[in-house]
A and B are shown apart, each in its own frame.
Chain A
Amino acid sequence: MNSQLLRKAMPSKGWLQSMALTLLLVAMPSLAITDILEFKSPEQEQLYRELTAELRCPKCQNQNIADSNAVVAVDMRHKTLQLVEQGMDKTQVIDYMKTRYGDFVYYQPPFRLSTMWLWLLPMLLIVALAVVMLKKQRQQIVAHSSDDAELQAMIDAVRKKQS
């Protein structure tokens, strides 16, 4: 009795099953698109994550290879995984990529004669600002002391009159 009522209210069991199957089929391609990676050790996984976050996609404007789905970025991720599995360490993988895609591929620029200004310029700026500040301060002290002398002279003059 109860079940009969339910049957009237709800679609048939067969319909439900086919619906569920359809949903499952729809979900399958999206499962296939996401890379599910298996690592031999948590250290390798950590290294892979670090590298894909720090290597830059050469085709994109400012995206790391973990974020990009450009063909180059996908290929670089596969290669990174392969190299990590071969037991390469971080600098080895980065050098491998650099020999192919140039210094651009790693977010940390190398220290060279042409790039040294990246570090030198901020330091020079700070030094220059410090020099200017010190100079200003000294000038102010001198100015203040001359003001003080003038003031003292006036006070003295007034006191002389009063006495």
Chain B
Amino acid sequence: MRKLQFFIPLALFLGLAVFLFSGLFSNPRDHGSALVAQPMPVFSLPNLTDPNRLMTNADQKGKVYLLNVWGTWCVTCNAELGFLTTLRQQGVEIIGLYYVQPPEAAFGETFEMGALQKDVARKLAEQGDPYQFNMVDEKRSLIFDLGVTGAPETFLVDANGIIRHHLVGDINEQNWPALHTQYQALVAQMTQAQPSSADPSSANSSTNPSTNPSTNSSNGGQGE
């Protein structure tokens, strides 16, 4: 009993040392997301290339996709564009949510869609265009509902419109493999669910041409 008491301070010290040491490697900017496992917030935002066309949740129904929050003003986003473009070439569906920074009203700045379109077109021509389309969030309403704190941030959304992953920071070679497996699992889930809901017995037969066009629609929006 006496000996045991002797070791109590040592155990306390070691516990504290381990706790504080692990703190050295924790990321103070990583504080989880309230959005994971939640449905995608309802949105209705103008398409960047065709501002009269409002994009809504319905446009992405039944698709697994990445929603990438970015801006031409954001250096990390620009660095990320090249990598995202290679992902698009591999068939990953990526949608851009353009983060409009508040214009400095005091210096006479106003928001101009035309100027933004030119700016974005120039940037995408230079770095590569990973996006099926871009939505412009001028008032940062969807950005606010998504709990976005800056750019770039990326959300993985499944076919039912549920957010599966919220990544703060850029997508790169290091963190993509994990996200890719998750993406592929969701795509597999979706393609499994679609034929079985139509007819469970004909999962591997070609007798249901009606479901084929919808499952092949992942490349449908490429011509922007």
Contact with B149, one of A32, A59, A74, A79 (Cβ below 8 angstroms): A59
Asked if A102 meets B144 with Cβ closer than 8 Å, knowing A32-B106, A59-B149, A74-B102, the reply is no
Contact with A71, one of B31, B102, B106 (Cβ below 8 angstroms): B102
Asked if A58 meets B31 with Cβ closer than 8 Å, knowing A32-B106, A100-B146, A102-B147, the reply is yes
Task: Enumerate chain B residues within 8 angstroms of A58, measured Cβ to Cβ.
Answer: 31, 147, 149
Task: Enumerate chain A residues within 8 angstroms of B31, measured Cβ to Cβ.
Answer: 58, 102, 104
Q: Mark A38-74, 1 if CB is under 8 A from B, else 0.
A: 0000000000000000000011010000000001101
Q: Mark A16-46, 1 if CB is under 8 A from B, else 0.
A: 0000000000000100110000000000000
B150 & A101 in contact (Cβ 8 Å cutoff): no
Which A residues from 68 to 110 make CB contacts under 8 A with B? 71-72, 74-75, 79, 98-104
Contact with A101, one of B28, B101, B149 (Cβ below 8 angstroms): B149
Task: Give A99 to B106 CA distance when docked, in angstroms.
Answer: 33
Minimum CB–CB distance for A143 against chain B, Å: 16
Asked if A79 meets B144 with Cβ closer than 8 Å, knowing A100-B34, A104-B32, the reply is yes
Asked if A98 meets B149 with Cβ closer than 8 Å, knowing A29-B107, A61-B28, the reply is no
Residue of A at shortest CB range from B32?
A: A102
Task: Enumerate chain B residues within 8 angstroms of A75, measured Cβ to Cβ.
Answer: 140, 144
Which B residues from 138 to 161 make CB contacts under 8 A with A? 140, 144-150
Q: Interface size on A (CB < 8 Å)?
A: 18
Whether B33 sits at the interface, judged by CB under 8 Å, is yes
Task: Enumerate chain A residues within 8 angstroms of B147, measured Cβ to Cβ.
Answer: 58, 100-102
Minimum CB–CB distance for B61 against chain A, Å: 23
Task: Enumerate chain B residues within 8 angstroms of A59, measured Cβ to Cβ.
Answer: 149-150
Which B residues from 64 to 121 make CB contacts under 8 A with A? 101-102, 105-107
Task: Give A74 to B31 CA distance when docked, in angstroms.
Answer: 20
Task: Enumerate chain B residues within 8 angstroms of A61, measured Cβ to Cβ.
Answer: 28
Minimum CB–CB distance for B169 against chain A, Å: 13
Contact with B34, one of A71, A72, A99 (Cβ below 8 angstroms): A99
Residue of A at shortest CB range from B151?
A: A71
Task: Give A100 to B101 CA distance when docked, in angstroms.
Answer: 19
Task: Give A89 to B176 CA distance when docked, in angstroms.
Answer: 42
Contact with A100, one of B32, B105, B106, B145 (Cβ below 8 angstroms): B145
B102 & A102 in contact (Cβ 8 Å cutoff): no
Task: Give A105 to B146 CA distance when docked, in angstroms.
Answer: 14
B106 & A101 in contact (Cβ 8 Å cutoff): no
Task: Enumerate chain B residues within 8 angstroms of A102, measured Cβ to Cβ.
Answer: 31-34, 147
Task: Enumerate chain B residues within 8 angstroms of A32, measured Cβ to Cβ.
Answer: 105-106
Task: Give A101 to B145 CA distance when docked, in angstroms.
Answer: 9
Minimum CB–CB distance for B156 against chain A, Å: 17
A72 & B106 in contact (Cβ 8 Å cutoff): no
5 closest Cβ contacts across the A-B interface? A104-B31, A102-B34, A32-B106, A100-B147, A59-B149
Given A32-B106, A100-B34, A103-B34, 10 additional A-B pairs, CB 8 A: A29-B106, A29-B107, A59-B150, A72-B150, A79-B144, A100-B35, A101-B149, A102-B32, A102-B34, A104-B31
12 contacts between A and B (CB under 8 A): A33-B106, A58-B149, A61-B28, A71-B140, A72-B149, A75-B144, A98-B34, A100-B34, A100-B147, A102-B31, A103-B34, A104-B32
